[in-house]
Amino acid sequence: MVAMNAIISASELADALAGANPPVLLDVRWQLSTATAAGEPPFDGRAAYRAGHLPGAVYVDLDQELASAPGGRGRHPLPDLEVFGAAMRRAGVSAGTPVVTYDGGTGWAAARAWWLLRWTGHPDVRVLDGGLPSWEGPLETSEPRPAEGDFVPVAGETGVLDADGAAALARSGLLLDARAGERYRGEVEPIDRVGGHIPGAVSAPTTENVGPDGRFRPAAELAARFEGLGVSPGSPVGVYCGSGVSAAHEVLALAVAGIPAALYAGSWSEWSSDPERPVAVGPDPQ
């Protein structure tokens, strides 16, 4: 599922919006809950959208429309395709219309939307490189009502892993762990039942795929990084994270580098929920 031109710069997007076939814009601002003991409320993506968004963009709720309810399959299981399809059509997504997704800057949520659209058959999806902070044009606060789209998602036959597939890939190919190194090593685990990693997985924090400005590093740099992590021509690659969101960003980085990769959607939140599954700790894969 490697997509040519998987990302788009802000200037390129401005040109595309002024062109004859402007893309549908999906605003997917989201953050992992950051509610604190001091009583700070969790991040509200819809409120951020209403405060200002790219002209014509439609808000998409990651938790409700890009994932199913949390449970045994992880914190962000794959969405019901009828729910996902309805959300995309509501946003004006059609099979023949280009789509650009963006978020508040990390690219994680935007990449989740990109990955789902690509995996379910949309041929032309890109992520705004650098997200909303890279946009220098005007913002608007009104909520558009685009014409209903016609996109009907169909689950891809490849490109996604379950727990058994991830375990097998860690033995026979290359399974990358996109979380922070300290979570991979099992030194801390702020969210899931236990820290550590899937035995055989290689630590590859997705934060290292971008520069200080939040934009992706050049394709050649990304290719060199992944080669150093063990990517080799023809060898299968998979990625996981905590719940299948930041891992989508790593799949996107791999696509920018021209490397196809599968996503373990349940990720560590699914894997670690079963005490029978093995857990490795420390800096080494095994």
CATH number, domain containing residue 188: 3.40.250.10
The answer to whether position 279 is within a domain reads no
Place of tokens 């099992």: 186
Convert the pLDDT of each residue in 229-273 to its tens digit: 999 988 999 999 999 999 999 999 999 999 999 999 999 999 999
Convert the pLDDT of each residue in 272-285 to its tens digit: 999 999 999 999 99
Q: How many domains does the chain have?
A: 2
Give yes or no: residues 241 and 197 share one domain.
yes
Q: With 80 as the cut, is the pLDDT of residue 4 above it?
A: no
Give yes or no: residues 112 and 186 share one domain.
no
Write down the pLDDT at residue 234: 86
Q: Which domain holds residue 104?
A: 7-134
Bridge partner residues of 238 (DSSP): 175, 262
Write down the pLDDT at residue 40: 66
Give yes or no: residues 31 and 70 share one domain.
yes
Give yes or no: residues 184 and 263 share one domain.
yes
CB 261 within 8 A of CB 192: no
Give yes or no: residues 97 and 210 share one domain.
no
The letter for the amino acid at 74 is G
Give yes or no: residues 188 and 121 share one domain.
no
The answer to whether position 95 is within a domain reads yes
Q: With 80 as the cut, is the pLDDT of residue 35 above it?
A: no
CB 131 within 8 A of CB 107: yes
Q: Which pLDDT band, with edges at 50, 70 and 90, does 63 fall under?
A: very high
Q: What angle do CA 114, 110, 18 make, to 5 degrees?
A: 80
Pick the more confident residue, 261 or 40.
Answer: 261
Question: What is the C-alpha separation between 151 and 142, in angstroms, rounded?
Answer: 24
The answer to whether position 198 is within a domain reads yes
Last residue of a domain, one of 100, 134, 168: 134
Give yes or no: residues 89 and 171 share one domain.
no
Give yes or no: residues 223 and 115 share one domain.
no
Question: Is 22 marked active-site?
Answer: no
Q: With 50 as the cut, is the pLDDT of residue 36 above it?
A: no
Write down the pLDDT at residue 14: 97
Could you say which of 241, 245, 252, 257 is catalytic? 241
Beta strands in 185-269 (DSSP E): 202-203, 237-240, 262-264
Write down the pLDDT at residue 42: 82
Give yes or no: residues 120 and 232 share one domain.
no
Q: With 90 as the cut, is the pLDDT of residue 75 above it?
A: yes
Write down the pLDDT at residue 1: 45
Question: What is the C-alpha separation between 92 and 83, in angstroms, rounded?
Answer: 15
Above pLDDT 70, what percent of the chain?
A: 96
Q: With 70 as the cut, is the pLDDT of residue 43 above it?
A: yes
Give yes or no: residues 112 and 169 share one domain.
no
Convert the pLDDT of each residue in 168-177 to its tens digit: 999 999 999 9
- What's the chain's average pLDDT? 94
Q: What is the pTM of this model?
A: 0.95
CB 238 within 8 A of CB 175: yes
The letter for the amino acid at 144 is P
Q: Which pLDDT band, with edges at 50, 70 and 90, does 32 fall under?
A: confident
CB 74 within 8 A of CB 244: yes
Nearest to 225 by CA among 205, 200, 241: 205
Nearest to 253 by CA among 127, 159, 81, 116: 127
Question: What is the C-alpha separation between 66 and 87, in angstroms, rounded?
Answer: 9
The answer to whether position 248 is within a domain reads yes
The answer to whether position 151 is within a domain reads no
Give yes or no: residues 11 and 127 share one domain.
yes
Q: Which pLDDT band, with edges at 50, 70 and 90, does 33 fall under?
A: low
For range 114-122, the mean pLDDT: 98
Helix then strand count (H, E) for the chain reads: 10, 10
Nearest to 142 by CA among 263, 68, 19, 50: 50
**Tokens encoding 99:** 């789509």
The answer to whether position 276 is within a domain reads no
Q: Which pLDDT band, with edges at 50, 70 and 90, does 166 fall under?
A: very high
Handedness of CA 6, 11, 17, 18 (dihedral sign): negative
